[in-house]
Amino acid sequence: MNTLIAFIASTLFNFSVAHAEDSFEITTILNEQSILLESTDPISPLLHVNSLLVIKSQETRKVLGYAHATRVDLEKKTVEATVHTHSAAALIRIHDRAEFIDLTQSKMSGVEMNKGRQDLIVRGDKNISSKYKPQVYIGAIAGQTAGTLEDKEWLLGPSLMAYGMNERWQLATLPYLDILGEVNTQIKYKIAEREDYRVSISIQSAQNFSLHKPVGSGSIYWDTYSNSKFSTYHQLQFSSGGSNLNANKVSADLSITNSYITDSWNRFIFGPNLNFERRSVGGLLAYHWVWDQLTASISAYSGDFTNIRLGDDGYLFLLDFWYRF
């Protein structure tokens, strides 16, 4: 019995070590997005198609980007992978290294992930830590980005409840408006996404029971990524009907929100807001603390910089939070 226990323990230990030490060399650049990796050691059976690989520079060991395995050959010790994101300041070359990495929890990501960078954001995987996911929501004041939740992913908070029907379609509601008597539903569709931009559109409808008027709005979102630390979120929104937040019949708003990723993967959020109907200029300043599933936010907002008072048209201060899983 002791021999059997020792054998099982040894097997599990060796298995975990092999998994932890899976390391490959890039031997062939197959095309603009695909690479061939080879290992001198046996490949752990835990590494499979869609496993996440982090690519590192052969000289500095700096993280260059991510790839997902598309074919694993245990016998030949080779892996084909598709590169999904990489540093804008470096090229991926033959003899660079690739390693299996677990981003489901930020504490498991290793020292190489200690400094947040826009070009290390991972798309297409709902199971990873929120630290490394693209932002789809930036708070009750700034609203949403052009991003959508992953397939069957949830975002739950007092200011937004959303569900990813797939990687392009997202269904959402604003709970605080529901409580105020404006039952609402929003559907968003991601039109396009590339390495340096993404574009989405949304339609929101609501019934305002206090004003007995329907409320409708449509939004166009487009996001751009200027460098490894900054991204910019644009939203152009058209609204019609009486609303708890907007009593005018027709209005248009343009918001331009910048997001700066700190080394700890938290975010600074700031930018102007232009209301064409009221001819006012305001803005937002916020800070987000991001954990594996929880994001907490503190915000200061002005609907009109010249209106020195508290309220929708003046200055607001807000605490917010949401879970993403």
**Are 41 and 35 in contact, with CB atoms under 8 Å apart?**
no
Picking from 176, 182, 234, 175, the residue whose alpha carbon sits closest to that of residue 205 is 182
Q: Does residue 194 lie in a domain region?
A: yes
Q: Average pLDDT for residues 193-216, to the nearest whole number?
A: 83
Report the domain count for the chain.
2
Q: Does residue 113 lie in a domain region?
A: no
Q: What confidence tens digit (pLDDT) does each residue in 54-90 have?
A: 999 998 888 888 899 999 999 999 999 999 877 777 7
Q: Does residue 89 lie in a domain region?
A: yes
Q: What confidence tens digit (pLDDT) does each residue in 102-138 have?
A: 888 888 777 667 788 887 888 888 999 999 999 999 9
HSE value, Cβ hemisphere, 13 Å, CA-based, for 282: 27
For 65-90, give one letter per residue: b (16+ CB within 10 A) or e. bbbbbeebeeeeebbbbbbbbbbeeb
pLDDT confidence of residue 111: 66
- Same domain for 201 and 139, yes or no, is yes
Q: Average pLDDT for residues 184-212, to the nearest whole number?
A: 88
Q: Does residue 114 lie in a domain region?
A: no
Q: Does residue 147 lie in a domain region?
A: yes
Residue 197 pairs in a beta bridge with: 224
What are φ and ψ of residue 221, in 5° steps?
Answer: -115, 140
- Same domain for 243 and 167, yes or no, is yes
Residue 302 has pLDDT above 70, yes or no: yes
What is the CATH number for 138? 2.40.160
pLDDT confidence of residue 262: 95
**Are 30 and 94 in contact, with CB atoms under 8 Å apart?**
no
For 6-45, give one letter per residue: b (16+ CB within 10 A) or e. eeeeeeeeeeeebeeebebebeeeeeeeebbbebeeebbe
**For 15, which DSSP code?**
H
Residues in the chain: 325
CA 321 from centroid of its chain's CA atoms: 15
Q: Average pLDDT for residues 251-263, to the nearest whole number?
A: 90
Residue 171 has pLDDT above 80, yes or no: yes
pLDDT confidence of residue 244: 46
- Same domain for 46 and 182, yes or no, is no
- Same domain for 182 and 311, yes or no, is yes
| Most confident among 156-165, 193-202, 311-320 (mean pLDDT) | 156-165
pLDDT confidence of residue 274: 82
H or E element at residue 298: strand 294-302
- Same domain for 80 and 151, yes or no, is no
- Same domain for 73 and 200, yes or no, is no
CA distance 68 to 101: 11
Split at pLDDT 50, 70, 90, the class of 177 is: confident
Q: Does residue 118 lie in a domain region?
A: no
Q: Does residue 117 lie in a domain region?
A: no
Q: Does residue 24 lie in a domain region?
A: yes
pLDDT confidence of residue 18: 37
Helix (H, G, I), strand (E, B) or coil at 194: coil
Residue 246 has pLDDT above 70, yes or no: no
pLDDT confidence of residue 212: 66
Q: What confidence tens digit (pLDDT) does each residue in 4-17 have?
A: 444 444 443 333 33
- Same domain for 91 and 134, yes or no, is no
Helix (H, G, I), strand (E, B) or coil at 4: helix
The domain of 44 spans: 2-101
What is the CATH number for 43? 2.40.10.170
- Same domain for 94 and 169, yes or no, is no
**Domain end residue (candidates: 56, 80, 101):** 101
pLDDT confidence of residue 19: 41
HSE value, Cβ hemisphere, 13 Å, CA-based, for 136: 34
pLDDT confidence of residue 243: 47
- Same domain for 135 and 59, yes or no, is no
H or E element at residue 20: helix 2-20
pTM for the model? 0.80
Q: Tell me the chain's radius of gyration from C-alpha atoms.
A: 23
For residues 54, 259, 298 and 143, what is the CA-based torsion angle, rounded to 10 degrees?
A: -100
**Are 229 and 118 in contact, with CB atoms under 8 Å apart?**
yes
- Same domain for 26 and 136, yes or no, is no
Question: What is the end-to-end Cα distance of the chain in Å, rounded?
Answer: 42
- Same domain for 88 and 137, yes or no, is no
Q: Work out whether the CA dihedral 181, 208, 186, 314 comes out positive or negative.
A: negative
**Are 238 and 252 in contact, with CB atoms under 8 Å apart?**
yes
pLDDT confidence of residue 211: 65
Give the helix ranges, DSSP H, for 117-256: 175-179
Q: Are strands 169-173 and 213-225 parallel, antiparallel or unpaired?
A: unpaired
**Are 307 and 314 in contact, with CB atoms under 8 Å apart?**
yes
- Same domain for 220 and 261, yes or no, is yes
| Higher per-residue confidence, 161 vs 52 | 161
Q: Are strands 52-56 and 161-164 parallel, antiparallel or unpaired?
A: unpaired
